[in-house]
Amino acid sequence: MAKIALTIAGSDSGGGAGIQADLKAMSALGVYGASVITAITAQNTQAVTAVHGVPLDVVTAQIDAVLSDLDVGAIKIGMLATPEIITCVADGLSGYKGPVVLDPVMIAKSGDALLAEEAVATLRDVLLPRATLLTPNLPEAACLLDAPVSSHHDEMIAQGKALCDLGASAVLVKGGHAEGEICHDLLIAGDDILGEYSAPRRNTKNTHGTGCTLSSSVAAGLAKGLALPEAVREAHEYLQGAIAVADDLKIGHGHGPVHHFHRVWPA
């Protein structure tokens, strides 16, 4: 039987991030992807020009429809936009016992806000404790902690541990916003560092959807039964391959997407 993962996130009309990126990544990694759409964005590689939140009863109905019929092995949560949608999703998952990967989506690659300022506290208090894995980049980790953005390795570790103290079972602190030729991601659970995943920093502007792709890839690995460090390692290697050939896609005129199907067809 096919392994199934569910993505709960916003739709990206440009196809590079959000629900679209999640389903592409899950498919590329051999997992059947189901979806719950929380918001519709008018978005391309250059800007987000409109956001429409899906009515709460429709979000709930989507969650109920999927979980009542499909054997979902893992869930990825992305863009939630408002406190009301965050609470709605938390309530909808109250009976789900499987792993949950929470990507605290706040800002699009274009710089446009995807999470209302007043929703940060709700995300931290209501959903973060439900997360098997939280996947913040450095600005997102700082925002959740109301702290300065970490500037070095030890601060990344400290903020990862602080986020675990808030209730997340594990945190993958992503170092893409840091300086240096090598990018380091740290997997932290409580006081333990479960893994460090490093890759050369690539000189490309085509990184739209990297956070969505990584978190949904981890969810795909968990749905296949991989242990968390192995799921993160598989996701990290897959994403690095997708970034390496992103320039070949030539999609749009701004921050283009990574190549989700780089293992299947060349750009």
Residue 108 has pLDDT above 70, yes or no: no
Q: Which of 41, 135, 207, 213 is catalytic?
A: 207
Cα–Cα distance for residue pair 37/246, rounded to 1 Å = 26
Among the listed residues 10, 160, 209, 256, the single catalytic one is 209
Say which of 88, 143, 164, 212 is annotated catalytic.
Answer: 212
Q: How far is CA 133 from CA 1, 169, 205, in A?
A: 25, 6, 27
Is position 204 annotated as part of the catalytic site? Answer: no
- Residue 102 pairs in a beta bridge with 77, 134
What whole-number percentage of the chain has pLDDT above 90?
Answer: 83
pLDDT at 62 over 90: yes
Task: Name the active-site residue from 109, 174, 175, 221.
Answer: 174
**Could you tell me the pTM of the whole model?**
0.95
Query: Is 207 marked active-site?
Result: yes
Active site residue 212: yes
148 residue type, one letter: P
Confirm whether 210 is a catalytic residue. Answer: yes
Per the residue annotation, which of 14, 15, 73, 211 is the catalytic one?
Answer: 211
Is a pLDDT exceeding 90 seen at residue 104?
yes
For 138-192, the pLDDT digits (tens) are 999 999 999 999 888 899 999 999 999 999 999 999 987 667 788 899 999 999 9
Rounded to the nearest 10 degrees, the angle between the axes of helix 138-145 and helix 153-165 is 50
pLDDT average, residue stretch 47-62: 95
Q: pLDDT value at position 159?
A: 96
pLDDT at 82 over 80: yes
Q: Token pair 């502007």 is at which residue?
A: 205
- Nearest partner of 229 among 191, 196, 251, judged by Cα: 196
| The pLDDT value given to residue 119 | 85
Provide the residue type at 244 as one letter: A
